[in-house]
Amino acid sequence: MDMEGRLAAIRSRIEAACRRSGRQPEEVTIIAVTKYTSLETAEAVLAAGLTNIGENRWQDVKPKWEAIGDRAVWHFIGSLQTNKVKDVIGKFPYIHSLDRLSLAEELNRKAKALGLAPVECFIQLNVSGEESKHGLGPEGLDEFAGQLAELPYIHVTGLMTMAPLEGGSDSARPVFRRLRELRDQLNAKRILPYAIHDLSMGMSGDFETAVEEGATYIRLGTVLVGSQS
Ligand SMILES: *Cc1c(COP(=O)(O)O)cnc(C)c1O
């Protein structure tokens, strides 16, 4: 199947998940995860009508970013070392992996120094509690959000998580549901001076469950780019 065919199949699965959960497909944005793939694959994603691209390492994405530039909206989805902020700042308007204050302070400092708009960040939470997972423990969310509220060049777009690799939708669903509840609780407590809306959750193996539980951004790699390189 080609890119158009795979995308059509994905869209109909999103539509079905929306019907099951009383949502609208327009509420769900696909981020095409093109990590490990070539510039040609990224171009095929854009030609198929997607505009949001997710990547996780600057060294790998650099040639794609330089060729594509602002024809795509770039999402940084990998864990970000503080000393790599200089590479991605101004190039990736969305950072999905904000999980610690030192990283937030560096993003804030660099964005300010460069005169950029506030960086749109997702707070990455380790909801499943797996040790192998990056992300902040949910118990630290309120304090962290309070610290972020003090940084004028950080804007919290929403929350991000990854479901356990094993266990399919049975183990993914409670993780996704919890992320939604954490968002709602954070808004109810008014720790940030604005309400947050977005939930970045769901990958190739669990995106329908994520949509049913309220995902607004799903991050799709293999199901979309297939075995292309
Ligand atoms: C690789 C990756 C994805 C996409 O994974 P697939 O299972 O291939 O869809 C999504 N999110 C993050 C954070 C990733 O690293």
pLDDT in tens, 180-227: 999 999 999 999 999 999 999 999 999 999 999 999 999 999 999 986
Longest CA–CA span in the chain (Å) reads 48
Beta strands in the chain (DSSP E): 29-33, 52-55, 73-76, 94-98, 119-124, 154-160, 198-200, 217-220
For the Cβ of 75 lying below 6 angstroms from any atom of ligand 1, the answer is no
Three-class SS of residue 113? helix
Question: What is the pLDDT at residue 164?
Answer: 87
d(Cα 120, Cα 83) in Å, to the nearest integer?
19
Quick one: pLDDT at residue 226? Answer: 81
Q: What is the pLDDT of residue 227?
A: 66
CA dist., res. 179 & res. 173, Å (int): 10
> Distance, CA 162 to ligand 1 centroid (Å)?
9
Please list the residues that pair with 74 across neighbouring strands: 53
Distance 84 CA to ligand 1 centre (A): 20
- Retrieve residue 3's tokens: 């890119």
